[in-house]
Structure 1
Amino acid sequence: MGGRGGARYSSKSIVIQTNANGTRQYFEHDDRGGNRGGSGGGRGNYRSGYRNNPKARMGGRGGRNREGWDGERGGGRMPEGHWRGNPRRGGSNRPYRPQGPHYPDDDVDMSEGKERNRWQGMYKTRGGRRRMQDTRNPRNNPNTSTSNMGWHKIIIRDGCMYDKNEVLDNLKEYVEEPFVPILYEVEGNSLVFYLEDNGAAAKAITNVNRRVTMRNGSRLIICNNRSPPPNRPLSVQQQEKVMHIMSERYCLELKRLDLKNFHNAPSLIKEQIFFPLYRTPNMKIIVDIIIQNIPQVEEIDLSCNKIHTLEEIERIIPVCTNLKRLNLEKNKLMNVDCLAKLQGLAIMELSLEGNPLCDKFTDTETYFSSVRKHIPKVMYLDGRELPKAIGFEVEEEVSKLPQAHPSFFVIDGVKDIVLKFIQQYYEIYDTDNRRPLEAAYTENASFSLTCVFPDAGPVARYSGAYVAENRNLKKVQASDKRQKLLIQGRSSIINTISNFPMTMHDPGSFTVDVPVADPKLMNVTLSGVFKQVVDRAPPVRFFTRSFTIVPEGSGYCICNEQLYLTFATSEQIKRSFKSSTPTMQVQQPVGVEASIVSAEANLPMQGETLQPVQQVMIAKFSEISGMLPQYSQLCLEQNGWDFDKAGKRFLQLKNGNQIPPEYFPQSS
């Protein structure tokens, strides 16, 4: 079984050892024993010593003493089958632990010594006890990271004894990479400064460690560590300096504020102020300065600031109404939904290029539509004009709602007659005798009551008289009962409303709407609050009364009335009955005396050709001027039914005593 060299060393043999896991190991065994050198616990070639260097020392790297096993240089004999390494040469005195086979199968080829040496050398570098430093993963040595992104902290040991400017000048002479030191300051006995997103410069500075010589002959000891961004609180004086720097970067002619890469502004670095806008407290200071000093700004550039949220920018929406252009390029906006914070801005130009949210879209159409979902008025996105949106949006001018008014009259001419009717109607209604109101209804008029009150509780008090006549179609299902609760006829209506409890209405809460007015019909809707006249704690209630008025005889009468009652809201109760002499929200013209508009109201009807508006104008002109209705009509006709013009003409003639006395009513 002898391998190469078996004939020369007759006492040697090849020993095959089978391990418990089934693998085998092969090594040479010498029955004589002796002093044998080894390296690394027996992993090297033990013949290499005496073959390559005949004068190799005892215990050399795998070598054997030329003088034999018992030579003077070899020392004492070792037990049989043992190796002895030299610690000075990288060997080990630990007992030999068999390793796994070096070959994938059980066959051993010992005929080629060079091939065996090659395999053993390979396994030595992989499994030796003295491992070399692993340079494959740069994370194992953070000081040698070559990443350009992130923050690096440069530390100059014992740098406090040197002038800071001198140190910086010397560094720039040795380092070719350009760099801008941030927060260059003394920290303990060291000088420190930070570099942002400049890993190449950080590595170059570290490479000149112990190479930069100062004037006193000492050399700089430089370290480089990965670091989080520095965090320094801002004093009041520094905030004032920030506002001054912002004023320098504001263009008054263009109304443009330039905050691009603001924390790296040379003015801030010179003042040793680190003011990143991606920190919420700093952005809050910026927004406060904009709101208080330049609300008229039209363009803001916030690019290259690593901004990741728009919560503080949202506060400028109600103030900076003229803002049209906003630049948010090269920030850290992760999702397009964050643009919902800008939904109230009427910006026309928006730049988002360089943000992570842009990488989430595979096509530009989806990107455009997603941005327009939050900012519909944007016309230019990332410097590109957007196509006109296709949809069913109504133009802004058309979509504006008309201004709200307490009352509405479709024709101004019917205002006075309606207000006079309402005022005198409730002057009678709020008394203990409502019989005179019979003249305000037509012979076959209709009346119905609908009320909504709770079944129990304080609001339900004193509601029994109304509930008996309640014609609420949701509660009254039987058709015959519905018909019975529909009050018809003038006398029946008066009997019904006379049975209602005595009330007191608040004219200050009245609102009047007249949506329909023509010669044959007018519709009036009146709303307000009232309370019942009872001994204690009368509840305040809300009412809506709808009249349909038609001409009858020489005036107007009610042909249909619907009354709706319910409990008042807390806000209506707070505003009710505040004035001791309440008046309606719609004031009457000065000089017009109120009179009930009913069948006996003597409203002139001069002809079938007159319109209701003209009839109202005649009555009003007659009351103001004091002339008879027919002469008032004549004055209006001669002035083209222009009420103001006719009034001026009347005063002119009256002051000149040119109006005949018969134009006025004659006193008996």
Structure 2
Amino acid sequence: MMHRRGGNKFRGGNSNYRFHDDHDNRTNNFIKTSRRVSFKTTKNNNAKSLSDMKIKAFLDDEDMGNDLAQNTSNDMKKKGRFRNRKGSPVPNRRIGGMNLIQNHAGWYLVTIHHGIFNAHYYKIDTENSCAQFYVDDYDIAAKILTQDKKLNLPDGFKMIIRVRGSVPHVKVDETLKERMKLAMVKRYNPQTKALDLTKFHADQDLSDVFCALFRPQIMSAVISIIVENIPDLEALNLNENKLNMFDHLKILSSKLHHLKIIYLANNRIGSLSSLEVFKHLPIVEFYLEGNPFKKRFAKNGDYVSEVKKKFPKLLKLDGVELSPTIGFDVSEEKKDFPIWKQSFMVNSSGQDFVAKFLEQYFAIYDSENRQQLLEAYHENAMLSITSTNNQHYTYEERLHAYWKVGRNLIHPKGYEHRFASLKRGKLVVVAMLSDLPPTKHDPQSFAVDLTFYTPQMIVMTVTGLFKEKNSDNRTEFVRTFQKTLVIVPNNGGFCIRNELLHINNASPAQIRNAFNSTIDPQPLNSSFQSTIVQQPQPDESNKLKMIEMMSHQSNMNVEWSRKCLEETQWDFNRALYVFQELFKESKIPQEAFLK
């Protein structure tokens, strides 16, 4: 009689045959035991092992997954050993086939134990006396598993088949890259600049190696080939490649700036957020049919809406034309913006004026008597104040003094309040400024923008920090301010015609840097000295034109027009202003008008 492998006398039974050790299982599975009742809590160690194996299925480069089917089968044997018979062991017979756990990678290793096959089609493992091959379909793998111990081998034994989730190992070297490049050349369309990598692992030119794009090292090799050879690629088809993770595709946005069409149908994308790696590309068309994440949307409209939120410029989705998103057409081309400067002077001639005006103004404002500011305001001056009261500040930190007289239009209190909060006339303006808490400004924090400068009107904005003393005269709070001033000539000098003042609490960084004692005191104009753009001297041709224009507007002769421009460093606006002021004071001699 021929001896059987495995040592189990019940052919086809649910044995504990250890196929990977290839020796008899001498353990007696039929020891009689009495029924036992236990109330002890049993830890589910098996769940942990299954979870660990699922994680390993994603991370193990050599073998993505363990023999989950084997473990499941063993569990079934343990649980089913004493079922259906009260206290008696069941006969050693096969109750059902093994259950194959579906592998997320989608590939399954089939092992035929004690099988002899043609090495051209199967991998022969001489060490373990088995043949192995891979399939990429769960249903096929499950059907193969059902044939375990059902087929007879020539020697009379049953064929032992084991199936588990696993991915073939492949070494990416220069030889393989060259073969991949040749396969990709056949898939590239130079007219449309499109590369079709659909089901790349099944390419006939690569049938003897495993080139699955869901393997990061394979995808990285493909991307490097694309970047080196077709950097102007516009369309990429990645359908049916079992893709589920895209972290290694982030490089596309920095390397393939023209890529605008991507097909990802029939992959394993579980979340729409996985596509965010493409958000910096000018995507106009996506094809996402056949991915699991689509089942999360009850309505197709919701699906389209969510995709368009992530890709506003999308024009086509799953082959369906989309209506363009309404928005502002802003060019995204890289632009070289001007260098940031602390202060801006539209005219360099205004530097001295701004420095002197602000120095005198804040010296009076920080004094104990603000009534002296009456001379700084026009008879019909107007002033409005705004402030921001953050609820996170303490009561003392809040800007109550400014809030109660503020004109924040975002908090409407009726027309009467709006009218009353806009102060008119220099007496009313200075009276309100005098009622505000005492202050001390930090000139080193000032930033000045002189945006308009003519003899008739000057407009500037100054921002900075100041300390405000509390009512108890002990606590000081650092505030920020922004003051916009419209200044006009008046009685040989200048005064404020309109003012807008905004007050806010300083940030922690501003508080730390305010009134920094390590900085030596400097004149006020040093805050924006370095940001003044010196006005270039005109050439002789332009000088003659300026002289002619000056003569025409002032009615002076050419000689005196030249003299006026020379003394003002050829600043035409400044020269015209000086002429008007001297003319009012009758200080220009009659000979200047003789032609």
Q: Which of 129, 147, 156 does residue 189 from structure 1 map onto?
A: 129
CA displacement, residues 24-83 of structure 1 (integer Å, 9 cap, x when unaligned)? xxxxxxxxxxxxxxxxxxxxxxxxxxxxxxxxxxxxxxxxxxxxxxxxxxxxxxxxxxxx
Equivalent residue runs for 1:444-463 within 5 Å:
444-447=380-383
1:471–1:485: 8 Å Cα contact kept in structure 2? no
Q: Which of 389, 394, 401 does residue 323 from structure 2 map onto?
A: 389
> 2:469 & 2:566 partners in 1: Cα distance?
39
Residue 568 of structure 2: aligned partner: 623
1:406–1:511: 8 Å Cα contact kept in structure 2? no
Matched residue type, 2:323: A
Matched residue type, 1:504: D
> 2:200 & 2:183 partners in 1: Cα distance?
10
Residue 307 of structure 1: aligned partner: 243
| Per-residue deviation, 1:568 | 1.1
> 2:361 & 2:513 partners in 1: Cα distance?
22
CA displacement, residues 554-605 of structure 1 (integer Å, 9 cap, x when unaligned)? 564212334333321134446666975652398223379xxxxxxxxxxxxx
Residue 167 of structure 1: aligned partner: 118
Q: CA RMSD in A?
A: 6.5
Matched residue type, 1:190: C
Residue 559 of structure 1: aligned partner: 497
The yes-or-no answer on 1:496 pairing with 2:434 is yes
Structure 1 pair 546/413, CA: closer, same or farther in 2 (3 Å)? closer
> 1:205 & 1:230 partners in 2: Cα distance?
22
| TM-score for the superposition, normalised by structure 2 | 0.52
Q: Which of 426, 431, 446 does residue 358 from structure 2 map onto?
A: 426
Moved more, 254-263 or 362-371: 362-371
SS in 1 for 2:313: coil
Aligned residues: 439
| Per-residue deviation, 1:543 | 0.7
> 2:226 & 2:468 partners in 1: Cα distance?
53
CA displacement, residues 457-512 of structure 1 (integer Å, 9 cap, x when unaligned)? 99959x99x9499734689x9999x97995853798399399944432225x5153
> 2:571 & 2:140 partners in 1: Cα distance?
97
> 1:630 & 1:485 partners in 2: Cα distance?
35
> 2:132 & 2:485 partners in 1: Cα distance?
86
Structure 1 pair 379/392, CA: closer, same or farther in 2 (3 Å)? closer
2:480–2:505: 8 Å Cα contact kept in structure 1? yes
Residue 79 of structure 2: aligned partner: none
The yes-or-no answer on 1:584 pairing with 2:528 is yes
Equivalent residue runs for 1:50-61 within 5 Å:
none
Structure 1 pair 423/268, CA: closer, same or farther in 2 (3 Å)? farther
> 2:391 & 2:136 partners in 1: Cα distance?
73
1:261–1:305: 8 Å Cα contact kept in structure 2? yes
The yes-or-no answer on 1:229 pairing with 2:166 is yes
Residue 37 of structure 1: aligned partner: none
- Unaligned runs of 5+ residues in structure 2 are 1-92, 537-549, 555-562, 581-590
SS in 1 for 2:266: coil
SS in 2 for 1:167: coil
Structure 1 pair 491/324, CA: closer, same or farther in 2 (3 Å)? closer
Structure 1 pair 469/357, CA: closer, same or farther in 2 (3 Å)? closer
Matched residue type, 2:441: T
Matched residue type, 2:133: F
Equivalent residue runs for 1:198-597 within 5 Å:
199=140, 210=153, 223-230=160-167, 238=172, 259-264=197-202, 270=208, 276-278=212-214, 298-310=234-246, 313=249, 316-317=252-253, 320-333=256-269, 339=275, 342-355=278-291, 371-382=307-318, 384=319, 386-387=320-321, 389=323, 392-397=326-331, 415-416=347-348, 419-429=351-361, 431=363, 439-447=375-383, 467=401, 471-472=405-406, 488-489=425-426, 493=430, 496=434, 500-507=438-445, 509-512=446-449, 514=451, 523-531=459-467, 540-553=478-491, 556-573=494-511, 583-584=527-528, 587-590=531-534
> 1:140 & 1:469 partners in 2: Cα distance?
81
> 2:249 & 2:255 partners in 1: Cα distance?
11
Residue 41 of structure 2: aligned partner: none
> 1:533 & 1:241 partners in 2: Cα distance?
78
1:621–1:632: 8 Å Cα contact kept in structure 2? no
| Per-residue deviation, 1:526 | 2.6
CA displacement, residues 93-149 of structure 1 (integer Å, 9 cap, x when unaligned)? xxxxxxxxxxxxxxxxxxxxxxxxxxxxxxxxxxxxxxxxx99xxx945699xxxx9
SS in 1 for 2:569: helix
SS in 1 for 2:461: strand
1:302–1:327: 8 Å Cα contact kept in structure 2? yes
| Per-residue deviation, 1:544 | 1.1
SS in 2 for 1:329: coil
2:465–2:480: 8 Å Cα contact kept in structure 1? yes
CA displacement, residues 154-181 of structure 1 (integer Å, 9 cap, x when unaligned)? 434446xx8xxx8224xx6xxxxxxxx5
Structure 1 pair 388/302, CA: closer, same or farther in 2 (3 Å)? closer
> 1:546 & 1:631 partners in 2: Cα distance?
23
> 2:568 & 2:436 partners in 1: Cα distance?
33
> 1:229 & 1:327 partners in 2: Cα distance?
27
Matched residue type, 1:529: L
1:210–1:219: 8 Å Cα contact kept in structure 2? yes
Identity %, equivalent residues: 21
2:382–2:424: 8 Å Cα contact kept in structure 1? yes
